[in-house]
Amino acid sequence: MTKADIVSNISEKSGIEKADVLATVEAFMAEVKESLENGNNVYLRGFGSFIIKKRAEKTGRNISKNTTIKIPAHNIPAFKPAKVFIEGVKSKVEVVED
């Protein structure tokens, strides 16, 4: 599902113009991004949390030059779904074997 699909679905279900829904969705995404960039987690009860995860420093390999490199400690954004979200997906989505 793409952002355009989400906007279309919300517009159809709510009766709000697509342009207004798009502006709202983009404003929501901008707020989440800005909050994480400022070091603040975002908690949405019943949906999940957008959090900042800390990655420790580690040693990696540059395969083409056959050398080791040091990857510094850094932060990454992550999403942690709420328990009700996880249970809903578990109960409604079939497991597909590869």
pLDDT digits (tens, 9 = 90+) for 7-38: 999 999 999 999 999 999 999 999 999 999 99
User: How large is the average pLDDT for residues 50-54?
Assistant: 97
Give the pLDDT confidence of 65-83 residue by residue, as tens digits: 989 999 999 999 999 999 9
**Contact yes or no for 17/24 (Cβ under 8 A):** no
**Contact yes or no for 52/36 (Cβ under 8 A):** yes
H helices present in the chain, as ranges: 3-14, 18-37, 83-92
φ and ψ of 73, to 5 deg: -65, 145
**Contact yes or no for 21/14 (Cβ under 8 A):** yes
pLDDT band at 90 (very low <50, low <70, confident <90, very high): very high
For Cα atoms 40, 76, 28, give the angle at the middle one, nearest 5 degrees: 50
Residue 1 above 90 pLDDT? yes
**pTM, entire model:** 0.79
User: How large is the average pLDDT for residues 34-53?
Assistant: 97
